[in-house]
Amino acid sequence: MNKDQLAKVAAAMCAPGKGILAADESSGTIKKRFDAIGVESTADSRRDYREMMFRTQDAMTQNISGVILYDETIRQNAADGTPLVKIIEQMGSLPGIKVDAGVKFLPNFPNETITEGLDGLSERMAEYYKIGARFAKWRAVIDIADGIPSRGAILANAQALARYAAICQANDIVPIVEPEVLMDGGHDQARCYEVTEFVLKTLYNELYEAKVFLEGTVLKPNMIVPGKKSAKQVSAEQVAAETVRVFKQTVPVAVPGIAFLSGGQADVEATANLDAINKLGPLPWLVTFSYGRALQAAPQKAWAGKADNVPAAQKAFAHRAKMNGLASKGQWNKGLEG
């Protein structure tokens, strides 16, 4: 592996004021999003939508450090024939790729899942590098409910993440390591903390065992929030305090950056929580965002599949990117949302 290159790319992914656009929705997921705005999901409509974001100059040059792509998208050309990867690069952003094959139920562990996709991964990584990918993403899913998560399921997912990360780095691709503790359910913030702490301690032990170069990785975790169905919700300041506390206890300082997932939080909520975390700095790592819905919900609604709406959609995307860019530096306030 080229450690210097890996470290340089990982640091660029979390550069101050910038974060990662997660545009790696599977065909099934993007169809659900398009159904909600009355747009048929076709290869062309998916391309047009994503091209609209990638050509939003203010957002892409000032606030987006990298874009996570889906296999279809990384191979697509824009309407004028330019590869979408080239558009991203021309904006000064880094192309990335989702490489896991999704979650399946884990045998002998009821209601728990394992992420698949390790078979043939090294060969796929080599191809993605040639196409232009400089980082990758693999998502493990840890649910909280009665009796789960189990130690066995957490360990299985941590081992898969570690093998994926090692394969990435062998191909000079920076791994985004994503162990998502879901915010579904009725658990409180303390339970989220407890599970996340165990997940992260297990993960970093497995990364060590796999000899992963931590300086060439980016962590994409959940924040410490109560479940959506919990009767006791908490403030952004409470989210920030518990989130920073657990990460200081579990994440090595060798890790250059933490790019939080939004995990179903509303747009402004995700921005406010990120800002509150950074206001507790200085922190041992660069702390930013890797948002999907929290960046895309507003532009999707504004776009609605119509070419005439592209300027309004780009304005909405640029606004959310700017707000999160400010939050990544602890410089956001709600008055800027007007």
Closest listed residue to residue 54, CA positions, set 71, 31, 77: 77
Q: How many residues does the chain have?
A: 338
Q: How confident is the model at residue 77 (pLDDT cuts 50, 70, 90)?
A: very high
As a whole number, mean pLDDT of residues 136-144 equals: 98
Mean per-residue pLDDT of the chain: 97
- Can you give the pLDDT at residue 312? 98
- Superfamily holding 3-337: Aldolase class I (3.20.20.70)
As a whole number, mean pLDDT of residues 297-319 equals: 97
Q: What is the pTM of this model?
A: 0.97
Q: How confident is the model at residue 309 (pLDDT cuts 50, 70, 90)?
A: very high
Say yes or no to pLDDT of 338 above 90.
no
CA distance 258 to 24: 19
pLDDT in tens, 185-238: 999 999 999 999 999 999 999 999 999 999 999 999 999 999 999 999 999 999
Calculate what percentage of the chain has a pLDDT beyond 90.
99
The structure tokens listed for 328 are: 């990544």
> Annotated active-site positions, please?
178, 220
CA distance 278 to 281: 5
8 Å CB contact between 271 and 324 = yes
| Domain ranges for the chain | 3-337
As a whole number, mean pLDDT of residues 124-140 equals: 98
pLDDT in tens, 14-72: 999 999 999 999 999 999 999 999 999 999 999 999 999 999 999 999 999 999 999 99
